[in-house]
Amino acid sequence: MATQKDVARLAGVSVSTVSRVLNGSGLVDEKTRSTVQSAIKKLNYKPNLLAYSLRARSSRMIGVILPEMQSIHSSFLQYVGESCMKRGYSVLVGMHCNECERERTLIDEFQRRNVDGLILYPAIDEQNVSNDLLEYVTVPIVLYEHSFADNRLGNVSFNNYEAGVTAAKYLLSLGHRNVGCTVGPMGMKYIKDRFWGFHDGLKDMGIEIQKRNIYECDFNYQVSNIVSGEDAVRYFVDGRDRSEVPTAIWAHNDNVAIGIIKELHRRGIRIPQEMSVVGMDNISLTDMIYPPLTTIGQPVPKMAEKAVAMLVKEIESKDGYKAETIVMEPELVIRESAGPAMETFAV
Amino acid sequence: MATQKDVARLAGVSVSTVSRVLNGSGLVDEKTRSTVQSAIKKLNYKPNLLAYSLRARSSRMIGVILPEMQSIHSSFLQYVGESCMKRGYSVLVGMHCNECERERTLIDEFQRRNVDGLILYPAIDEQNVSNDLLEYVTVPIVLYEHSFADNRLGNVSFNNYEAGVTAAKYLLSLGHRNVGCTVGPMGMKYIKDRFWGFHDGLKDMGIEIQKRNIYECDFNYQVSNIVSGEDAVRYFVDGRDRSEVPTAIWAHNDNVAIGIIKELHRRGIRIPQEMSVVGMDNISLTDMIYPPLTTIGQPVPKMAEKAVAMLVKEIESKDGYKAETIVMEPELVIRESAGPAMETFAV
DNA sequence: CTGAAAGCGCTAACAC
DNA sequence: GTGTTAGCGCTTTCAG
């Protein structure tokens, strides 16, 4: 790789002059400019970004840290990547696999690489986000997070409670009265919010969800959400009197819903005629299966764009702008997996 | 962020001494070592990797360039990411969206950031990979590519021809004689290989695939593979005499197969009783739908691991090791979407 | 054993 | 207008 020095030598000028024509900073004679430019072309010189970064204290890199590269995360990364590229930032990516220690290691490492900012989907262990983020993060950061109370950090969040409400209202509007739902570990705020939204949405219309109509998924990284969905069907159907089988189920995420649909198909239970299924998140798979899944969507493209926009604004701001906490509203995506309630469940 | 200088000042030594205790290089007195170490701890000093990289001419970053973050690419990235992390490399990621110009820009940019190596899933436009890769890539590189002839570049490839053969043999072994398949743009070598493998696999057993049983998918980034799959069903079923409808279809990738299954479900055609479907690639979705898709798998985890392993070996080799071209063999993944042939297609 | 000095590739003050 | 110099944070000769 040619260096600035090589160009300078070839053009018979000093390095600072080369730098000047490169950055258009400072005055430079038309003749020398063109000499330099042709030297650049001849040597196919490209400025080294590492050296620039060291000098400028800005690497034009953004670190993106996610739990993994599955379902909603990969599409988030896709959009984040596009937004970053559009703004001239490169993306350093890392996965923490929901282990706080790896998360911390990644944050450290990225900061040591002088990233200009960080986008973090925090690791969730038993409890919620580690609060000491504030202590060791020294660059602008925006979280993609649903339970973080501390608004000193930027946060693109999502109204999980309202999502639950939306699901409940929609099912009710379809005439369902005997509805079921799944939940994940209630220690996580966003899971709790989803559930209570659903609960309250039903209650508002005078329906109290029955305890036996709530399926708690096995929370364990070995068992996938798909399997949890299959298990849920067993739970809701096996050994129940037909009148006790819910006519509709809301799953707390799309993968669970897809598992439910899978098992329903296996049993020959028709969707939505015999049972309606509604998901949560609107991952890309939802439109690939049959029947296309009705779901409550997170506006992922918008959230990704907003996260990058806020982050870059903070990075480039001269006036101390700080990324805010914003919460996005859910959108009901009606497809084909939910329909009007039937009188009874046909076994 | 504390710097080495700060540590040196606090410990009352020179920066070079600090550097020495940090890297364990050179001799240093036990007493000074501990003084320095406690200064490091007190200031919570972490060496700056940018400066290190500039000096060392090695950034311990690997650039990974993919078309996008969908289906097989995201799982490839997942595994590549893990392998890199395991070896102490960070991942710089970029998407070229199958545009050669963006691909080139990314390669350039990553090289200017001094990545130690590159993993590239090349952009595919009308033709195949741009051959001038050799000219402007100056770092070790391994491709994830099925059609690149030039073995001066490292390449983790896949035996697409054999994959086609495997699909054909399996369908034949199930008793199918009237089989269909889909193809993509035949300008791409890997598509052609897949098809001819399938063709020859049938021919070996005396079956000649009929022209009308080959569906050419609309190749257009606007129309998804899912839609192509749905279209394929229309093509194979609508307006045909029942005896002319194939009893099994092999799709040239899993998304097309999933689209086929979607449309088959919509029509109430039972899988595999009335029609068998076999996919290609073994993306993670294949196990999430009903019926779980029988498919010909690319061993993605293995390929990712191998790509990183070869690349790192080349990067770290003193003896001029060059990443090779290796081709991985397909694996038949039997699930539930293909079964024994029926006598006739029941309409 | 340890400090001083040079240099990785670049930019920005400061002279001329 | 342009060259010289210093310095970003680090490592590695080279002296002592």
pLDDT > 60? residue B128: no
Fold of B4-47: 434 Repressor (Amino-terminal Domain) (1.10.260)
Q: Which residue is nearest to nucleotide C8 (CA to C1')?
A: B55
Q: pLDDT value at position B347?
A: 43
Angstrom distances, CA of residue A77 to CA of A59, A120, A224, B132, B221: 20, 11, 21, 30, 20
Q: Where does the pLDDT of residue B303 fall: very low under 50, low under 70, confident under 90, or very high at 90 and above?
A: very high
How is residue A199 written in tokens? Answer: 């609960």
Beta partners for B118?
B63, B141
Secondary structure (DSSP) of A46-81: ---HHHHHHHHT---EEEEEES-SSHHHHHHHHHHH
Best of A85, A91, A230 to mutate (most B CBs within 10 Å, chain B): A85
Q: Does A109 touch chain B (CB under 8 A)?
A: yes
Cβ neighbourhood burial of B116 (10 Å; 0-12, 13-18, 19+): buried
A108-117, B126-135, B309-318, B321-330: least confidently modelled range: B126-135
Rounded to whole angstroms, how far apart are CA atoms A76 and A156? 12
Model pLDDT for residues A87-133, shown as the tens digit of each residue: 999 999 999 998 989 999 999 999 999 999 999 998 876 555 566 78
What residues does each domain of chain A span? 4-47, 59-158+299-329, 160-298
Share of chain B above pLDDT 90, in %: 84
> Mean of the pLDDT values across residues A211-222?
86
pLDDT > 80? residue B282: yes
Q: Where does the pLDDT of residue A347 fall: very low under 50, low under 70, confident under 90, or very high at 90 and above?
A: very low
Q: What is the CA radius of gyration of chain A?
A: 26
Amino acid at A138: T
Secondary structure (DSSP) of B142-181: EEE-SS---TTSEEEEE-HHHHHHHHHHHHHHTT--SEEE
CB atoms within 10 A of CB B319: 4
> Mean of the pLDDT values across residues B25-42?
93
Q: Which residue is nearest to nucleotide C5 (CA to C1')?
A: B16
pLDDT > 80? residue A222: no
Strand D atom within 7 Å of A22 CB: no
Q: Considering chain A, what is the average pLDDT of its residues?
A: 93
Q: pLDDT value at position A14?
A: 95
Q: Where does the pLDDT of residue A56 fall: very low under 50, low under 70, confident under 90, or very high at 90 and above?
A: very high
Q: Where does the pLDDT of residue B267 fall: very low under 50, low under 70, confident under 90, or very high at 90 and above?
A: very high
Amino acid at A192: K
Q: Where does the pLDDT of residue B31 fall: very low under 50, low under 70, confident under 90, or very high at 90 and above?
A: very high
Strand D atom within 7 Å of B25 CB: yes
- Specify the pTM: 0.92
Contact A54 B59 (CB under 8 A): no
Closest of A40, A47, A55 to residue A8, by C-alpha: A40
Q: pLDDT value at position B333?
A: 98
Contact A109 B226 (CB under 8 A): no
CA atoms within 13 A on the CB side of B238: 8
Model pLDDT for residues B208-226, shown as the tens digit of each residue: 999 999 999 987 766 799 9
Rounded to whole angstroms, how far apart are CA atoms A275 and A190? 26
**Top-confidence residue, B236 or A125:** B236
Strand D atom within 7 Å of B29 CB: no
Model pLDDT for residues B171-197, shown as the tens digit of each residue: 999 999 999 999 999 988 899 999 999
pLDDT > 80? residue B287: yes
CA A70 to chain centre: 10
Q: Provide the positions of strand D that have an atom within 7 A of a protein CB.
A: 1-5, 7-13
Q: Which residues of B touch A263 (CB under 8 A)?
A: 290
Share of chain A above pLDDT 70, in %: 95
Q: pLDDT value at position B80?
A: 98
Closest of B305, B308, B320 to residue B118, by C-alpha: B308
pLDDT > 90? residue B110: yes
Model pLDDT for residues A315-332, shown as the tens digit of each residue: 999 888 999 999 999 999
Q: pLDDT value at position A197?
A: 98
Q: pLDDT value at position B222?
A: 62
> Mean of the pLDDT values across residues B199-204?
98
Fold of B160-298: Rossmann fold (3.40.50)
Contact B288 A59 (CB under 8 A): no
Model pLDDT for residues A302-314, shown as the tens digit of each residue: 999 999 999 999 9
Contact B46 A77 (CB under 8 A): no
Best of A96, A109, A113, A233 to mutate (most B CBs within 10 Å, chain B): A113
Distance, Å, A19 CA → C13 C1':
14
Pairing of β A179-183 and β A141-144 = unpaired
Q: Does 3.40.50.2300 match the CATH number of domain B59-158+299-329?
A: yes
Angstrom distances, CA of residue A323 to CA of A64, A185, A190, A306, B332: 16, 30, 21, 10, 50
pLDDT > 60? residue B345: no
Give the count of Cβ contacts less than 8 A between chain A and B.
Answer: 139
| Domains A4-47 and A59-158+299-329 equal at CATH topology level | no
> Mean of the pLDDT values across residues A265-284?
96
Chain B neighbours among A 228-267 (CB < 8 Å)?
255, 258-259, 261-263, 265-266
